[in-house]
Structures are given as structure tokens and as C-alpha cells.
């Protein structure tokens, strides 16, 4: 069973402080939906609104079409996985998993059976009698998931559950979480500040900043076609140039970014609000969109000087300077991209790879 | 012992270490072990006039303990009066301890989990301030409060709840109230310490998984706070069963506390060996009871001291 969730004009205010600013969205049943944003952006508050630990100041949280106001966290069809997992240290693994059944008065034998089934699901068969402290980080993670699934909730809420794990395990758990979600077919709502997690696992992502939802879309839309400066600078690496729109014919814009010839940038239909000639703008070009010019006739070409290079094996991360602005450039290490450190180097980018947006707040690095 | 000393020296330097070792040994030996040993020795002797002490009649005997069990009567009779008082005292102490637990747990929980910073400090202060008043003074205050013309009777009758003054003293209501009040802090603080270290998320996780408030406490908070509960209950029980001032002042005329018997043997009875024997009986029975209960609830001493 899965239920859709809708947030209708949800505001959460703590005194003067607005934690969530008019959140409006629908999450379909069975979707893997992520809230992505820096710490303090309101994503955890929003999650607490859905799980019932926080009542919105204004607006409605609906689950399966039903208004959840006044329904306590113990009565909602949601299960929350905490950042620190919050497993019960005094209980065995099986007793942890069966806790939701225990409080519902399910008898011991049925509880144990269900716990064993779930241990099977999370690939920890026969480990039910272990103490929680005897498990590794990844195993605890899976036990927390099993515990949340014990009563077959409609919606699983995950509050940065992977942040305590080391990198390798985190990457492994991403795949595993996604697999579990596919297997049980539940709605997963995932909170993270790690864009890698959000992009790899989610069907859709809501990027949040300072209590506001900046953009909702699938990973590709968010990465390739951000609609605000914040999203463009928060998700992935990005170079930002201040520019002015010279012309806009609806399909392409000419933008003067102070680097010689004006740049030609495509308008994207799903992009941000249209820019008119004379408007100031932020021009974003991703490090992987910048390339070394093969010849002098390339479009959007400009001259730069080498600053520094960071070598990462498969990729080379190079910093170039263009008239006082440092630009990051990522090149595949395939032996074809030699850079002369002592002479000007010409770079260019394709018109569809430039993103021009209204100037707005940038994510702090 | 040597390792402990070297460790102390390494951490604190020679002078401080010697002072610490000396002070602690003196404390333990002179103030605790020595008097208790003397008391134990006394309890195995006859009550002799000073002239005969050290003489041929001054030998070890079980007579004082025999008296507690059999009284002065025939050798097969039981000293039902004194044994009865002991049991009544223990029962009353258990009751006071459980009562304290019931009223202190919510306070400790709110203090530990719902209040922060200045509010919590103010609450703690409010709990402590009454204890700046002398214990005997507080007991007398309770006597006045519960007296025939005390505030409670006056209010009750004024509101028409009852017509004639209720004798709270004779009913032992005043005694139980006074005892329960006397050691409340010793219950609250161990509970507070235990609950305070419980991760908030555990409570929320339990809520989220469908537990109602009662289940949250029964299945998550209380098991976690068990060492604190045991610690608080032990202290309150030991101090209540050994209390003298409150029973003396608030006890009904017909109700003797076991400590009052001990007191009587020492003072008006002038029989120190018998008083010592009675005190030993109380001590041993109390310790045994505490250990038994701890065993029953699977708490180890090691957990308590945390």
C-alpha cells in the first residue's frame, strides 16, 4: 500500500523564525523523493511535519488525501528513520525490529516470525539474537530500516540516515536503499545535504534553501536546468559569471559577461523566468561544460591563464583565470588535453551548456 | 592498590595523591569501618556495669540477638512485638520508596527532557531550596500542617469536606508524608541523571513506531533509567528505614519505628549492646532486602554507581 502525500501551503514558524516558507508539493505513491539542501534549510522540519512531530503553523499536510492535523506520530502511516538510527540499545536485534508490533499487542511468536522475515529481507538472517552493539554501522542501518518496515507503513521517512557511515559504505547503502525501495514499493522521503545521494537515488528532488523550496524536479532537470541561482550553485560544481543580457530572441540570448565577445546561450523552456535585454544575470557554466578550444572559430570562446591543477586520476581539475575571475575546468585524463601553463589558453562552451538566470543568492562553497 | 596510587601520582602529583589516599582511608576507616566494627563487637556482649567490663563475665554472647528473636520470655516464644515493628518499618519504608518513585519520576522526566537552560536551573533550585531548612524543623512544620487545627484540617472543614478534624498523626498520614518528602531529592537526582542521558530520538522513534505515552515510558525510558531508579530507590529505602527524626516527631503514639527501638535501647534503656544488636539487625535486613530486589530486577551494583 502506498499513499500520496501533499503539502498545501505549509508554513512552520518558530517565533520570529520561519523554518518552512509556504511549501507546496505532491509526492506520488511509490516515489523516491528527496529533500536536498544545506543544513538549516528547513528540510528536517518539513520531514517532522510529515511524521507528526511538528504541526505546521499554517497549511495542511495530507496523506492519502486525509488531513493529518491533530494526528500524532504514533497514529500516522509513516515510519521515520533517524539520523542516528535510534535503535534501542537494551533490546536485541529481533526485539528492535519487532518493537512496532510489540506496542500494537502482537503476540511473541508472530513478532519473532515477522522479525525473521525482515532480517531475511535486509540480508541479516539468523542475527536476531545479537545485541545491537555487536553490529557494524551498515548492519545497524539495515536493522533500522527493517524496524521501520515492520508494520508495513505507507511512507518511509529517512533523515540523513547515511551521514554517519564512511564513504564506501555510504555508496553501497545508496544502492541497497534504492533496491529495498524497489522491492517493497513504498514511498520513500529522503532528507539529505549530500547531492550525490539525492541525485543517485531519487525519482524527484526538492532543493530547499532558507525554508523555501527552490526547485522540484528529477535529478537531470535539477542538474542540467536549474531554475534559480541557488540551485545552480548548490547542486554540483558551477562557475558563475556576472553578466548583462544584450538580446533575447526567445531561443537564444546574447550575454555580455565582460570576457570579450558576448556569449550565446540557449533559453531553456523549463528554465527560470525569461530574461529581457538589459537585465543583469548570473551566467553558469559547469566545469565539465568548459573545454579547451580546438580552433579559433569556436563559438563562446574566451582567453584564460592557467592558475593551478588538481590531479584526481581519471579527472583533472584545473583552475583558469579569465580577466580576474577564477573558473574551474574538469577534463578527462585521456592524454589529449595538454595545457600550456605559460601562455594564454582559449576555452569555449556550447550554447546549450550555458545557463543564464536572474541574479540570486548563491550557495556558499 | 599500588597501580591505583601510581596512577594518582601521575595525574595529580605526590602531595595531592598522599593527601587523597590519607583522607579517603581515614574517612573510610575511622568514620565508617571502625564505628561499625565497635557496634558489631558491642552487639555480641552482655550489658555490664562499667566495673565489670573487661572482667571474667565480659565474654562474647548471642544473647542480644536471641532477645530480638525470642524476647525475655520462654526460650520457644517469639518476640513478636519487636519483629513486628521491624516488618512494619520495612513495609512502611517500601511504601514510602515506591510512593517517592511514583511522584518523582514525572518530575525527573520533565526536568531531564522537557526543560532547558534557565528554566531547568530554576526548577532544580525550587526543588533544593526547601532543603536549606533543617530536617527537624520541616518535620515539625508537617506536624503543624497535619495537626487537629492545622491548615489541612481547617481547609477541609472550611470547605465542608469533613466535619470533625481528622487525626492525620494517629493515621500515620503525617508520618508517610513527612518521610516521603524528606528524601525526595535523593530520588529525583539519580532519576534525572539516568533519564537525561537518554537520546531524545529514542523516545521519538518509539512514538513514531506507534507506542503511546505509557508504552514509551514502560518500554524505552524506564528500562534505560533502571540503574537510576535502583540507585534512587536504594537510597530512599535505606534512609527511610533508618530515619529517626520524622518517626519521632510525626509518628502516632501507638506506632513505633524500628529505629526508635534502637534509640530506646541506647538511651532510656541504657543497654548499648542490645541497641547495637538491634541496629545490626536493621542494617543486615535492609541490605539483604535491597540486594534481593536488585537481583529480582536484574540490576547489578556496578550499574548503580554510574
The continuous run of DSSP H or E covering A23 comes out as: strand A17-27
- pLDDT bin (cut points 50, 70, 90) of residue B205 is very high
Task: List, in order, residues 6 or more apart from B254 with CB less than 8 Å away.
Answer: B170
d(CA B299, CA B289) in angstroms, rounded, equals 14
- Number of Cα atoms under 13 Å in the Cβ half of residue B97: 24
Specify the pLDDT at position A270.
Answer: 67
The span from the CA of B192 to the CA of B58, in Å, is 51
For this complex, say whether ipTM is above 0.90: no
Interchain pair B223, A80: CB under 8 A:
no
Length of chain B (residues): 306
Q: What's the CA gap between A220 and A154, in Å, rounded?
A: 27
Percent of chain A with pLDDT over 90: 51
State whether B208 and A104 contact (CB < 8 Å): no
Tell me, what's the pLDDT at B306? Answer: 47
Q: What are phi and psi of A129, to 5 degrees?
A: -90, 0
Q: Is B212's CB within 8 Å of A147's CB?
A: no
What is the per-residue pLDDT for B304? Answer: 60
DSSP-derived 3-state class of residue B2: helix
Does B50 lie at the interface with A, CB-CB under 8 angstroms? no
Residue from A54, A99, A102, A163 to probe the interface with B (highest B Cβ count within 10 Å):
A99
Q: Which of the residue ranges A163-167, A219-223, A243-247, B40-44 would you say has the lowest mean pLDDT?
A: A163-167
Sign of CA dihedral B201, B207, B209, B215: positive
More confidently predicted of B53 and B289: B289
Residue owning grid cell 511512507: A155
Give DSSP secondary structure letters for A162-198.
Answer: TTTS-HHHHHHHHHHHHHHHHHH--EEEEEES-HHHH
Nearest CA in chain B to A147: B209
Rounded Cα gap, residues A141 and A173, in angstroms? 9
Q: Locate the chain A residue with the closest alpha carbon to B202.
A: A86
- Mean pLDDT for B68-91 is 81
Environment class of residue A17 by beta-carbon count within 10 Å: exposed (0-12), middle (13-18) or buried (19+)?
exposed
Instruction: Quick: pLDDT tens for A61-79.
Output: 999 889 999 898 889 999 9
Q: At what angle do helices B14-26 and B2-12 cross, to 10 degrees?
A: 130
Checking if the pLDDT of B303 tops 70, the result is: no
Lowest mean pLDDT among A209-213, B131-135, B277-281: B131-135
In sign, the C-alpha dihedral spanning A28, A29, A30, A33 is: positive
Residue for grid cell 556576472: A242
Chain B residues within 8 A of A150 when measuring between CB atoms: 209
Q: How far does Cα A352 stand from its chain's mean position?
A: 23
B76 to chain A, any CB pair closer than 8 A? The answer is no
Tell me the pLDDT tens digit for each residue of A164-222.
778 888 888 888 888 888 888 889 999 999 888 899 899 999 999 999 999 999 999 99
**Average pLDDT of chain A, as a whole number:** 89
A287-321 per-position pLDDT tens digit: 999 999 888 888 899 989 899 988 888 888 999 99
Cβ partners under 8 Å of residue A108, min gap 6:
none
* Contact (CB, 8 A) for A248 and A272: no
B136 contact A CB<8A: no
Query: Is residue B294 helix, strand or coil?
Result: helix
Per-residue model confidence (pLDDT) at position A25: 92
pLDDT at A268 over 90: no
Secondary structure in 3-state letters for A123-134: CCCCCCCCEHHH
Q: Which residues pair with A281 in a beta bridge?
A: A243
Which residues on chain A are in Cβ contact (under 8 Å) with B215?
103
Q: How far is A282 from A181, CA to CA, in rounded Å? A: 38
Chain A nearest-CA distance from B215, in A, is: 7
Q: At what angle do helices B222-241 and B184-196 cross, to 10 degrees?
A: 160
pLDDT in tens, A78-94: 999 998 889 999 999 99
Cβ pairs bridging A and B (under 8 Å): 59
Quickly count: other Cβ atoms within 10 Å of residue A249's Cβ: 8
Q: Please give the Cα distance from B273 to B42 (Å, whole number).
A: 5
Each residue's pLDDT tens digit, B208-250: 998 999 999 999 999 999 999 999 999 999 999 999 888 888 8
Indicate the Cα dihedral angle A167, A170, A174, A177, nearest 10°. 170
Give the rounded percent of residues in chain A with a pLDDT score beyond 70.
98
Query: Residue for cell digits 528536517?
Result: A44
Amino acid at each position: 500500500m502506498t499513499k500520496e502525500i501533499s503539502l498545501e501551503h505549509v508554513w512552520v514558524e518558530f517565533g520570529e523564525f520561519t523554518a518552512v516558507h509556504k511549501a507546496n508539493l505532491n509526492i506520488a505513491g511509490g516515489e523516491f523523493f528527496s529533500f536536498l539542501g544545506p543544513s538549516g534549510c528547513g528540510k528536517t522540519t518539513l520531514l517532522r511535519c510529515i511524521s507528526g512531530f511538528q504541526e505546521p503553523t499554517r497549511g495542511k499536510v495530507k496523506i492519502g488525501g486525509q488531513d493529518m492535523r491533530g494526528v500524532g506520530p504514533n497514529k500516522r502511516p509513516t515510519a521515520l528513520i533517524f539520523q542516528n538510527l535510534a535503535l534501542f540499545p537494551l533490546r536485541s536485534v529481533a526485539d528492535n525490529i519487532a518493537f512496532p508490533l510489540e506496542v500494537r499487542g502482537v503476540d511473541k511468536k508472530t513478532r519473532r516470525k515477522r522479525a525473521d522475515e525482515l532480517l531475511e529481507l535486509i540480508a541479516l538472517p539468523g542475527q536476531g539474537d545479537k545485541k545491537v552493539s555487536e553490529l557494524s554501522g551498515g548492519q545497524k542501518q539495515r536493522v533500522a530500516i527493517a524496524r521501520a518496515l515492520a508494520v508495513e507503513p505507507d511512507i518511509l521517512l529517512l533523515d540523513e540516515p547515511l551521514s554517519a557511515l564512511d564513504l564506501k559504505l555510504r555508496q553501497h547503502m545508496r544502492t541497497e536503499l534504492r533496491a529495498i525501495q524497489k522491492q517493497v514499493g513504498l514511498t520513500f522521503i529522503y532528507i539529505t545535504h549530500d547531492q550525490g545521494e539525492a541525485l543517485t537515488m531519487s525519482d524527484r528532488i526538492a532543493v530547499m534553501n532558507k525554508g523555501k523550496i527552490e526547485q522540484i524536479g528529477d535529478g537531470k532537470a535539477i542538474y542540467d536546468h536549474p531554475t534559480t541561482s541557488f540551485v545552480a550553485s548548490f547542486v554540483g560544481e558551477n562557475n558563475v559569471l556576472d553578466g548583462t543580457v544584450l538580446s533575447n530572441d526567445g531561443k537564444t540570448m546574447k550575454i555580455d559577461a565582460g570576457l570579450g565577445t558576448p556569449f550565446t546561450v540557449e533559453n531553456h523552456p523549463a528554465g527560470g523566468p525569461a530574461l529581457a535585454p538589459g537585465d543583469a544575470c548570473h551566467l553558469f557554466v559547469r566545469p565539465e561544460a568548459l573545454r579547451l578550444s580546438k580552433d579559433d572559430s569556436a563559438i563562446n570562446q574566451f582567453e584564460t591563464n592557467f592558475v593551478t591543477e588538481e590531479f584526481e586520476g581519471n579527472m583533472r581539475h584545473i583552475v583558469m583565470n579569465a580577466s580576474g575571475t577564477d573558473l574551474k575546468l574538469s577534463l578527462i585524463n585521456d592524454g589529449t588535453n595538454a595545457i600550456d601553463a605559460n601562455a594564454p589558453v582559449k576555452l569555449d562552451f556550447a550554447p546549450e551548456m550555458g545557463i543564464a538566470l536572474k541574479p540570486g543568492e548563491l550557495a556558499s562553497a | 592498590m599500588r597501580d591505583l596510587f601510581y596512577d594518582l601520582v601521575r595525574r595529580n602529583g605526590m602531595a595531592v595523591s598522599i593527601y587523597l589516599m590519607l583522607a579517603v582511608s581515614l574517612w573510610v576507616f575511622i568514620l565508617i569501618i571502625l564505628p561499625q566494627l565497635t557496634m558489631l563487637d558491642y552487639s555480641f556482649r552482655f550489658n555490664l556495669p562499667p566495673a565489670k567490663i573487661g572482667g571474667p563475665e565480659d565474654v562474647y554472647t548471642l544473647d542480644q540477638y536471641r532477645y530480638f528473636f525470642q524476647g525475655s520470655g520462654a526460650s520457644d516464644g517469639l518476640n513478636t512485638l519487636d519483629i513486628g515493628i521491624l516488618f512494619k518499618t520495612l513495609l512502611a519504608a517500601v511504601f514510602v520508596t515506591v510512593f517517592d518513585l511514583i511522584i518523582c519520576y514525572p518530575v525527573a522526566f520533565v526536568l531531564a527532557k522537557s526543560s532547558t537552560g534557565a528554566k531547568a536551573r530554576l526548577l532544580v533550585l525550587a526543588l533544593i531550596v526547601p532543603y536549606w531548612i533543617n530536617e527537624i524543623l520541616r518535620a515539625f512544620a508537617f506536624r503543624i500542617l497535619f495537626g487537629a487545627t492545622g491548615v489541612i484540617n481547617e481547609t477541609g472543614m472550611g470547605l465542608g469536606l469533613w466535619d470533625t478534624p481528622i487525626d492525620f498523626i494517629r493515621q500515620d498520614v503525617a508520618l508517610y508524608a513527612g518521610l516521603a518528602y524528606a528524601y525526595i531529592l535523593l530520588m529525583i537526582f539519580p532519576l534525572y541523571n539516568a533519564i537525561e542521558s537518554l537520546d531524545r530520538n529514542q523516545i521519538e522513534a518509539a512514538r513514531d513506531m506507534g507506542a503511546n505515552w505509557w508504552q514509551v515510558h514502560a518500554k524505552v525510558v524506564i528500562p534505560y533509567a533502571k540503574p537510576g531508579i535502583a540507585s534512587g530507590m536504594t537510597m530512599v529505602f535505606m534512609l527511610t528505614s533508618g530515619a529517626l527524626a520524622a518517626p519521632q516527631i510525626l509518628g502516632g503514639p501507638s506506632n513505633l519505628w524500628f529505629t526508635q527501638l534502637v534509640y530506646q535501647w541506647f538511651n532510656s534503656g541504657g543497654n548499648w549492646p542490645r541497641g547495637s544488636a538491634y541496629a545490626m539487625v536493621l542494617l543486615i535486613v535492609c541490605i539483604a532486602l535491597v540486594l534481593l530486589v536488585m537481583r529480582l530486577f536484574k540490576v547489578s551494583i556496578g550499574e548503580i554507581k554510574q
